[in-house]
Chains A and B, each alone.
Chain A
Amino acid sequence: MQCGSSTETSSLFKTHNPWDLSRVPGGSSGGSAAAVSADMAPWALGSDTGGSIRQPASLCGIVGLKPTYGLVSRFGLIAYASSLDQIGPLTKDVTDSAMLLNLIAGYDEKDTTSMDMPKKDYTLSLVNDVKGMKIGVPKEYLGEGTSAEVKEAMMKVVKKYQELGATVEECSLDVGQYASAVYYIIACAEASSNLGRFDGIRYGYRTENFENLKDIYKNSRSEGFGAEVKRRIILGTYVLSSGYYDAYYKKAQKVRTLIKNAYNELFEKYDLLLTPTSPTTAFKIGEKMNNPLQMYMADICTVPVNIGGLPGMNVPCELDANGLPIGFQLIAKPFAEETIFRAAYTYEQNTNFRAEHRPTFKG
């Protein structure tokens, strides 16, 4: 069990970023992303509740897709935040991503949130053409929190899509600024409930140190959970506790509706939205360990997509001055993965990120 944007609080071992071993791979599927990036695995699956596929994919320079909520069954995944969790592919390129999604998408009676709809062949969307496509760029994600190099890279991506015949224009997702606050309330509330099953009897680690039932519960949980998981359980229990439920949890669910509505409006006008995946490139191991709030800000571009239940993909595009990957995120309306594949594939075919750049394992 692991959560957070750096993979530093993993219950097993720290993972290092293959592009610079002194830096984090992103998280929480940082192990999967690092393994694919370093050619230790041809592809991997990750789970994404607030960006845990896309953000490590960005920091490790690979393709990561969070499919629409309900497209892929979560059967077998340990539930973290059930209204946000989704499984998706981490791959070296867009073609592999489409092929892997073909294998994992579809209805499963063992996950009641998986949608019963006809199977699609996503490789049919690997078409090198974005002419006439309309892409919106929410200006809020290119503000002060985003590094200058990431902004510059986004401008180059915009220019590339324009050259290729897409219409790209600035738009606004003002209510998106509330997404991280909504996310941490809802995700932690759901997590504190979901992780209740780890009681030392039914699931997971069991303490050896107990005299009665309450000891088993308390000692198993206290010894078995890491610091970040405990922090989230405490926050989640707090916002669900009597007296605070309406002020935090219920209010957050209402703001979630406002965020979904804002996306719906944007997708009446645009086929895709384009943002950075991460406001910065990979940070140093230990840099944000003691500041949970700063760590949470690493998810600022990816979290709103989970709040909306939308599909989003990281596509690698540039390296910064330190030789670290920068990625952009394409977001589509629910179940419009084909539009993402088409735009991502077109970008990939007309640029050379993977041919020119490989992890260096320096540091």
Chain B
Amino acid sequence: MADISQDEIVHIAKLAMLNLTESEIEGYTKDMKDILAYAEMINRLDTDNIDETIGATEQKNVFRKDEIVNFENRELLLQNAPSQDEGMFRIPKVIQ
């Protein structure tokens, strides 16, 4: 199962929105083969009737009240903007 091809790496990179160079494709294909061959060891364990652990704690459905809290410090928020204009986030045009 760990026999992963360069085509598969190209497909996975496309799903992950990454451009890879030829040498990266080659390198990552080899790395994935090695890592997955190692990870295969978990198949030696019998996990029939074992539940999956989804989180580290047993907590479920942590809710908060659906209340609006205004955040007044506009300057502080805009500090995170890579680009800003007249108190607003400036972003590239994303609709053609």
Contact between B47 and A258 (Cβ–Cβ < 8 Å)?
A: yes
Return the CB mask of B29-52 against A: 1 if under 8 Å, else 0. 001101110111111010100111
Contact between B12 and A218 (Cβ–Cβ < 8 Å)?
A: no
Contact between B18 and A230 (Cβ–Cβ < 8 Å)?
A: yes
A84 CA to B64 CA in the complex, in Å? Answer: 23
Give chain A interface residues in 260-309, CB to chain B under 8 Å. 260, 292-293, 296, 306, 308-309
Across-interface contacts of B34 in A (CB, < 8 A): 292-293
A76 to chain B, nearest CB (A): 12
Across-interface contacts of A212 in B (CB, < 8 A): 96
Q: Residue on B with the closest CB to A182?
A: B42
Using A69-B57, A192-B16 as known contacts, say yes or no to A184 and B35 having CB atoms under 8 A apart. Answer: yes
A88-96, A143-151, A154-162, A235-243: which one contacts chain B? A235-243
B85 to chain A, nearest CB (A): 15
Contact between B47 and A241 (Cβ–Cβ < 8 Å)?
A: no
A192 CA to B13 CA in the complex, in Å? Answer: 11
B54 within 8 A of A: yes
Across-interface contacts of B16 in A (CB, < 8 A): 192, 221, 233-234, 237
Return the CB mask of A231-254 against B: 1 if under 8 Å, else 0. 101110110010000011011111
Across-interface contacts of B91 in A (CB, < 8 A): 201
Contact between A221 and B42 (Cβ–Cβ < 8 Å)?
A: no
Across-interface contacts of A184 in B (CB, < 8 A): 35, 39
A114 to chain B, nearest CB (A): 10
A194 CA to B54 CA in the complex, in Å? Answer: 15
A86 to chain B, nearest CB (A): 9
Contact between A234 and B9 (Cβ–Cβ < 8 Å)?
A: yes
Across-interface contacts of A234 in B (CB, < 8 A): 9, 12-13, 16, 18, 28, 32
* Majority secondary structure, B binding face: loop
A222 CA to B69 CA in the complex, in Å? Answer: 37
Q: Residue on A with the closest CB to B47?
A: A254
A173 within 8 A of B: no
Number of A residues contacting the other chain (C-beta, 8 Å)?
Answer: 57
A185 CA to B13 CA in the complex, in Å? Answer: 17
Contact between A248 and B39 (Cβ–Cβ < 8 Å)?
A: yes
Q: Residue on A with the closest CB to B80?
A: A203
Using A178-B45, A292-B35 as known contacts, say yes or no to A199 and B17 having CB atoms under 8 A apart. Answer: yes
A251 to chain B, nearest CB (A): 6
Question: In the complex, which of the residues B39, B51, B55, B56 contacts A185, with contact meaning CB atoms closer than 8 Å?
Answer: B39
B76 within 8 A of A: no
Return the CB mask of A27-47 against B: 1 if under 8 Å, else 0. 000000000000000000000
B68 within 8 A of A: no
Across-interface contacts of B15 in A (CB, < 8 A): 237, 241
Contact between B45 and A175 (Cβ–Cβ < 8 Å)?
A: yes
A-B contact pairs, 11 of them (CB 8 A): A115-B59, A180-B38, A181-B39, A184-B39, A210-B92, A234-B16, A238-B8, A238-B12, A248-B39, A251-B43, A257-B53
Top-7 shortest CB links A-B: A309-B56, A253-B52, A69-B56, A254-B47, A112-B62, A256-B53, A222-B19
A247-B43, A252-B42 known; 16 new pairs, CB 8 Å cut-off, are: A70-B57, A112-B59, A115-B57, A184-B35, A206-B82, A213-B94, A233-B16, A238-B36, A251-B47, A255-B42, A255-B47, A256-B53, A292-B31, A292-B34, A293-B35, A309-B56
Contact surface of A with B, Cβ cutoff 8 Å = 69-70, 83-84, 109, 112-113, 115, 175, 177-178, 180-182, 184-185, 192, 199, 201, 206, 210, 212-214, 216-219, 221-222, 225, 230-231, 233-235, 237-238, 241, 247-248, 250-258, 260, 292-293, 296, 306, 308-309
